Amino acid sequence: MSSEKVTWEDEKVDEERDEIKEMRLILEEWKTVVQTQMHFNDMIMRIRTTGVSIVLAVFGAAAYSLQFDKLYLRVSGFNFHAAVPIVLFGLGMLSGVLILDYCYYYKMLLGAVKRGYEIDEAYKNRKINGMKMYGMTTLIRKEIGPAGRSKWYIFIFYGITFFLGIAFLVAILTGYIPAAE
């Protein structure tokens, strides 16, 4: 049987190897979190630009339809132009896009950001060659303001389009008069 004598230097080398492995795992986790944040940001921006663009196109179709007086409808004793259901369809689409954005992708983004904060906090004092390694998520939050403020930006973004759609709908219902035949 051979007996190996473990020295203090050997233990120190083993500890350094373990620390390097740990740092690699942490860095991989951090990279995954940042990539996830970027992915959800990208998905949110695609939903917003595509969704609102389509809704504005639907509003444009409603405006275009106003030139056709024969598209005046009578439903259950109410008279209105066909532009009314077109605008209502656009408002419904906008509501659906908001729900998909805020209740799904935005919540997933918040989860990824929360994980980023956890990593930032856990390793805020960790430096490699004198350089701080983590903290980007926290720095971004400091620049955009307190946590929770971003949801108000979302509601303002969708609220402006929704308000304009409602104003358009009211204008059609109260101000559209078909030309006399």
Q: pLDDT tens digit string along 84-96?
A: 999 999 999 999 9
The amino acid present at 23, given as its one-letter code, is M
DSSP characters over 73-140? EEETTEEEETHHHHHHHHHHHHHHHHHHIIIIIHHHHHHHHHHHHHHHHHTTT-EETTEE---HHHHH
φ, ψ for residue 170, nearest 5 deg: -65, -40
Residue 3 has a pLDDT of 57
Q: What is the pLDDT of residues 97-107, one digit of tens each?
A: 999 999 999 99
Residue 143 has a pLDDT of 84
| pLDDT tens per residue, range 23-69 | 888 889 989 999 999 999 999 999 999 999 999 999 999 999 999 98
What is the pTM (predicted TM-score) of this model?
0.79
pLDDT tens for 34-46 read: 999 999 999 999 9
Q: How confident is the model at residue 5 (pLDDT cuts 50, 70, 90)?
A: low
Residue 108 confidence (pLDDT) above 70: yes
| C-alpha distances out from residue 40 to 112, 114, 121, 179, Å | 9, 13, 22, 50
The pair phi, psi for residue 127, each rounded to 5°, is -130, 145
Which structure tokens are listed for 77? 């004793």
Strands 127-128 and 78-81 turn out to be: unpaired
User: Rounded to 5 degrees, what are φ and ψ at 78?
Assistant: -100, 135
